[in-house]
Every structure is written in C-alpha cells, then in structure tokens.
Amino acid sequence: PAPPVDGDFYDLAGMLIPEQRELQLKVRAFMETEVQPLVNDYWLKAEFPHELIPKMAALNICGVTYQGYGCPGLPFLMEGILAMEMARVDASIATFFGVQSGLSMGSIYMLGSEAQKQQWLPGMQQMQLIGAFGLTEPEVGSGAAGGLTTTAKRTGDTWVLNGQKKWIGNAPFADVIIIWARDLDDNNVKGFLVKKDTPGLHVEKMQDKMALRIVQNGIITLTDCTVTEADRLEKANTFKDTAEVLRMTRAGVAWEAVGCARGAYENALAYTTQRKQFGKPIAAFQLIQNHLVEMLSNLTAMQTLVFRLSQLQDEGRLTDEHASLAKVFCTLRTRDIVSRAREVMGGNGILLQYNVARFVADSEAIYSYEGTKEINSLIVGRGITGYSAFV
Ligand code: FAD
C-alpha cells in the first residue's frame, strides 16, 4: 500500500499547540466535507456557493487575529495555517475569506474609528455582513500608490466620490465596500465605507475569468456617490495607511499559495500511486519521482518560510519586504508545483474532476493579485539596495 499522502513533510503542524492543531483539523474537515463536493461545479458555473457562508461563520474564525468585536484573537500563525487549509481545497474560497476577514475587516480594524468598528465588525465576524476592498481601477493597478484617479471631494460633513474600480472581490454581493479615493483638497488617498444601495454606487459582476471563477469580482462605478464624514475611515490619511493593511494581507496570500501548491501536490502524489502504465504505478518511474520530489522540496521550503514569516508577524516585526518576498517566492514556486502536478497526471490533469486543473488556473490569479511579482520584487529590491526602481 502507498504511504499516506501529506504535504507537511517536516511536520510543521507538530509545532502547533493542541488547540491550534484541533482548529486546523476542524477547518480541514469543513473544507473537505462541505466545500470539496461542490467546488468544481460552482467553479464551472462561475457562481458563489452562498449556502456555505453560515457554515463558515459557524467555524468562528472570521477576523482571525483581531481582539474584541467577537473576533477570535488568534496568532497570525493561525491565520496563515487556516488560509493554507482553505486554499488546499479551493483558492476561491480562501480568497473570499481573505477579502472578508483580511482586506475588509482589516481596514476597519486597523484604520477605523471605534464607532465604525462597533458598527461593522461584529456583523462581519458573523459573516452576516460581507465586505469588499476597492483599490484597483481599470487604468490603475500596480501604480495605485501614486496613481489613483477616483476622487473624493469634501463639502461640510459629506464626501462626494467619483470614479471607477475594477477587480473588486465580493463586490457584487457586498454589504459594504471600502473605496480608496484621492482627496481633491490634499491629494492624499483616503478610505470610505460605502454601503450597498448608496445612490451613485453601481456594481457590475465581471465575466469570463479563467481563474478563481467562484470569486465574484466587480467593476464599480461611482457617480456623485455621497457618503458622510462618519463613513470615512478615521485613521486612513495617506496611502501609507492603506499599505499597512496590504502588508498584513500579502503575508496571507503567501500562505494561500502554499495551500494551492499543497493541494495540487497531494492530489498528484495520490494519483501517481494509483495510476498504472507499463504494468506498474507511474509513481514507480524515476522521472515521475523526480517531479514529485522537486514539488515537495519547493513546498517544504515555502511552508518553512511562511511559518517563520508569521512568527515575525506575531512578534510585531513584519516588514513590507518580508511580506513581499514571501508573496513573490511562494506564488512563483506554486506555479511550478501546480504545473508539475498537472504534468504527472497526463490528460486527466486538465479535467476539473481530478482536482488539479483548478489549482493550475487559480494560481495564475494569486500570482498577480495583491501586487504582482514585479512590484513585490521591486519592494524587496528597494529595501535591500536603498534605491526605488519604480517611483
Ligand atoms: P498592471 O499594473 O497593469 O501590470 C501589468 C504588468 O506590468 C504586470 O506584469 C506588472 O508587474 C508590470 N508592471 C507594472 N509596473 C511595473 C514596473 N514599475 N516595473 C516592472 N513591471 C511593472 N484589487 C482590489 O483593489 N481589490 C480586490 O478585491 C482585488 N481582487 C482581485 C482579484 C483577482 C482575481 C485579480 C486578478 C485581481 C484583483 N485585484 C483586486 C487587482 C489586483 O490587485 C491587480 O490586478 C494587481 O495589482 C495588478 O494590477 P493590474 O492587473 O492592473 O496590472
């Protein structure tokens, strides 16, 4: 019989305390029993399985690291482990959760006023209220820091927002969308909590994606969309504040990449021990074993890297460069791992039902979102040389 398939080769889970390990396995069981059976069908339909939301909420993991407001207040290490567990089965569900718990709740938790936190965080923690994070625009992606064209104009106690956003995850069904816009008076980027159905807010679902098809991305048009000063994120005064949220979530994306790679590796390894050609399991061939070992080497390096990354985060020592390096390394290596996983499965590697093809497609999106390889590399390059190559 084939040995058990486990992509945690150096037993990093063995470093967790029993309650953490229990939670990891609880989320794994949820993903395997509730998500896995329906995920390929929803991916194909490009629809979101809304019936999963109350079940996910019942896990009580949303707002993983935050203190108060009903949030579990766990270490960043657990946030990473849980992101990996979700992405190990499906990267779209991990992304949905990352937008809700990380980008949206994180912006409010890190940059909101006490009243804004009270208003939004408990309902978002329970996943009764869904959030979205609107930074990217049709013409402004990597250059968001200096280039945002969406504007905010203050008159007395109201702000009028105008512009467009693209790619905004969860936006088509979100209850609140955080819109990042340039203040026409001081030219700085500020964040606004825009409730669904606010006049002047129009959200259109993006169609025909070849990756993360379950994630519902929106194109947002703001036409004289008016919010009040009470809806402006109190502590978001410049893009540097926005970047603090992105630093935290980029670390999470590195873990998501690890999850995709792990899911693809484990499925491929299991397949190679079952599939027979020339009278023996293909896992017995040297060239197949070479692929598997290359995959496992990278996967193990990635896991140890993100484990340490989260420890730094828990010690309050995470820098932009740490997060960017992990995001680049893990998403780059994931592309290699998923492609080898597909390769060792031959033709079946491109069939959704064999649970590797989805990872191949989805890792392309993870490679590009939350800062592309180039931008995150340039962030590290700037840090280690002292020269900014992109501003
Ligand atoms: P561009 O910025 O146009 O870049 C194109 C290419 O040029 C890239 O290879 C890039 O690396 C390269 N490039 C750009 N500048 C430089 C430079 N100075 N030097 C070298 N190379 C450079 N955004 C949100 O705000 N909220 C969301 O919820 C969200 N969800 C997303 C979900 C998905 C599935 C995807 C695909 C994207 C999402 N995004 C979201 C947007 C995402 O963050 C952007 O796609 C990303 O920042 C890259 O921007 P861009 O696609 O406009 O590419």
Distance CA(89)–CA(36), nearest Å, equals 6
Q: Is 268 exposed, middle or buried (0-12, 13-18, 19+ CB in 10 A)?
A: buried
What is each CA distance from 385 to 250, 321, 331, in whole angstroms? 21, 12, 23
Tokens standing for residue 327: 């995001």
pLDDT of residue 189: 98
pLDDT of residue 390: 85
ipTM score? 0.99
- The reply to whether ligand 1 has any atom less than 6 angstroms from the CB of 141 is yes
Provide the residue count of the chain: 391
* Prediction pTM value: 0.98
pLDDT of residue 1: 65
Closest CA to 297 of 337, 335, 266, 324: 337
pLDDT of residue 175: 98
- Which residue's CA is minimally distant from atom 52 of ligand 1? 141
How far, in Å, is the centroid of ligand 1 from the Cα of 369? 6
pLDDT of residue 50: 98
Atom of ligand 1 nearest to the CA of 165: 25
- The reply to whether ligand 1 has any atom less than 6 angstroms from the CB of 382 is no
- Which residue's CA is minimally distant from atom 20 of ligand 1? 374
- The reply to whether ligand 1 has any atom less than 6 angstroms from the CB of 134 is yes
Atom of ligand 1 nearest to the CA of 103: 28
- Which residue's CA is minimally distant from atom 40 of ligand 1? 167
Cβ-proximal residues to 172 (8 Å cutoff; 6+ apart), any chain: 203, 204, 205, 216, 217, 218
Distance CA(293)–CA(214), nearest Å, equals 31
Per-residue pLDDT of the chain (391 residues; tens, 9 = 90+): 678 899 999 999 999 999 999 999 999 999 999 999 999 999 999 999 999 999 999 999 999 999 999 999 999 999 999 999 999 999 999 999 999 999 999 999 999 999 999 999 999 999 999 999 999 999 999 999 889 999 999 999 999 999 999 999 999 999 999 999 999 999 999 999 999 999 999 999 999 999 999 999 999 999 999 999 999 999 999 999 999 999 999 999 999 999 999 999 999 999 999 999 999 999 999 999 999 999 999 999 999 999 999 999 999 999 999 999 999 999 999 999 999 999 999 999 999 999 999 999 999 999 999 999 999 999 999 999 999 998 7
- Which residue's CA is minimally distant from atom 3 of ligand 1? 141
Q: What is the mean pLDDT of the chain?
A: 97
How far, in Å, is the centroid of ligand 1 from the Cα of 275? 39
Task: Report pLDDT digits (tens) over 303-347.
Answer: 999 999 999 999 999 999 999 999 999 999 999 999 999 999 999
- The reply to whether ligand 1 has any atom less than 6 angstroms from the CB of 364 is no
**195: helix, strand or coil:** strand
How far, in Å, is the centroid of ligand 1 from the Cα of 328? 13
- The reply to whether ligand 1 has any atom less than 6 angstroms from the CB of 99 is yes
Atom of ligand 1 nearest to the CA of 371: 47
Pocket test for ligand 1, best of 99, 104, 136 (most atoms within 8 A of CB): 136
Cβ-proximal residues to 202 (8 Å cutoff; 6+ apart), any chain: 220, 221, 222, 223
Atom of ligand 1 nearest to the CA of 143: 2
- The reply to whether ligand 1 has any atom less than 6 angstroms from the CB of 372 is yes
- The reply to whether ligand 1 has any atom less than 6 angstroms from the CB of 375 is yes
pLDDT of residue 149: 98
Q: Is 57 exposed, middle or buried (0-12, 13-18, 19+ CB in 10 A)?
A: middle
Task: Report pLDDT digits (tens) over 177-221.
Answer: 999 999 999 999 999 999 999 999 999 999 999 999 999 999 999
- Which residue's CA is minimally distant from atom 22 of ligand 1? 374
- The reply to whether ligand 1 has any atom less than 6 angstroms from the CB of 191 is no
